[in-house]
Amino acid sequence: MTQTVSGLEFKQQLSDHAKSAQERAAVLADPGFGNHFTDHTAVVDYSVDADGHGSWKNARIEPYGPIQLDPAAAVLHYGQEIFEGLKAYRHADGSVWTFRPEANAARLNRSAARLALPQLPEQVFLEAVRELVNVDKDWVPDGDGESLYLRPFMIATEAFLGVRPAREVSFRVIASPAGNYFGGELKPVSIWISHNYARAGQGGTGAAKCGGNYAASLAPQLEAEANGCKQVLFLDPHNDDAVEELGGMNVFFVFRDGRLVTPALSGTILEGVTRSSILELGRERGMDVQERKITLDEWRSGIASGEISEVFACGTAAVITPIGILKDEHETIGSADAVPGEVSMSIREQLLGIQTGVVADTHGWMTRLA
């Protein structure tokens, strides 16, 4: 049992079927993304008592495995679910670090507020991550571009079919070793413009990191794939063709004159931790950083005139991905043989360098976990 600053104690029930060192090594030799999970999971339960007072309790590390859930659990019916994504990196001296976890903890609570889920003290979020990574630290890979992807999530577990916020909730963290997202080679991706589907509506859940947004992105994603594209670009819900973001990544434009532009947070865009970090790095580089409305028209004419020199997507999983072409039924913007842009790659290297410990962390962004 570990005493923590939040006052919650994480009880440890270690797995009696943990993978052997040999089995683990086989997984770590080629982890891929999201296929394999570590031996344990962190769990904290929440419930509301008869006086209407809610509290977090039963903090624990338990063996990874299926969740016992009542078939009437609210999450299965009304989708009351939110999640986060962050990574743990092994540095050269063997220590394990993560990037801006307090930003993920704060965002989880913003998502919780929108989905009428309870607020989780940020310390509990950080402790759950720390406890899990410590018990499963041998799962943190050390190869180039590799990490342990951490997936905190919160679900409504109460068995009740009435429509109201659940009074029983569970917060969990699972961990999955992740390989180099691009197998070493970074190729610009092609993006499909979704005209038939929106990702979010004004006042909806677009700014929350919830599973429902991802469920809604799958049909447009299929449409993209059917048209030979890797990802979907969503436009704003007002039909004035302002760029919003991809299904799970924010978008940036590099202008030849040194402007770095990303769509302003409008309530329908997810505020990425990678996005806000890139904004800060851009400012430090002396770029003219702008969060504003940018339309498909400006994208089209900027590429045609050469004023826009690079476009990239960003998020925790892939860090920075150059965007090569953008297309729909009527047009193709950009070129299929585009090469990754210089500025995109330089920011990517800096950010990844900070995360992996080869570039000094002058922002206090890194937190040691093990």
Q: Contact residues for ligand PLP (CB under 6 A)?
A: 85, 209, 245, 248-250, 270, 272-275, 315-316
Which CB, 61 or 224, lies closer to ligand PLP?
224
Helices 273-284 and 342-356, axial angle in degrees (round to 10): 110
CB 332 within 8 A of CB 59: no
Min CB(360)–ligand PLP separation in Å: 22
Q: Which residues contact 149 (CB under 8 A, 6 or more apart)?
A: 33, 34, 85, 86, 87, 175, 176, 177, 178, 317
Which CB, 106 or 345, lies closer to ligand PLP?
106
Which CB, 159 or 317, lies closer to ligand PLP?
317
Q: Which residues contact 54 (CB under 8 A, 6 or more apart)?
A: 46, 47, 48, 118, 167
| CB-based contacts of 300-306 (< 8 A; 24+ apart in sequence) | 300/331, 300/333, 302/253, 302/255, 303/333, 303/334, 306/256
Min CB(216)–ligand PLP separation in Å: 11
CA–CA gap between residue 341 and residue 252 (Å, rounded): 12
Min CB(233)–ligand PLP separation in Å: 12
Nearest residue to the partner ligand PLP, using Cβ:
272
Min CB(28)–ligand PLP separation in Å: 23
Which CB, 186 or 249, lies closer to ligand PLP?
249
Which CB, 47 or 98, lies closer to ligand PLP?
98
CA–CA gap between residue 275 and residue 271 (Å, rounded): 7
Which CB, 24 or 209, lies closer to ligand PLP?
209
φ, ψ for residue 49 (rounded to 5)? -85, 180
Which CB, 270 or 303, lies closer to ligand PLP?
270
Min CB(290)–ligand PLP separation in Å: 19
Min CB(72)–ligand PLP separation in Å: 28
CA 143 to chain centre: 21
CB 86 within 8 A of CB 147: no
Min CB(245)–ligand PLP separation in Å: 5
Complete DSSP assignment for 265-282: P-SSS---HHHHHHHHHH
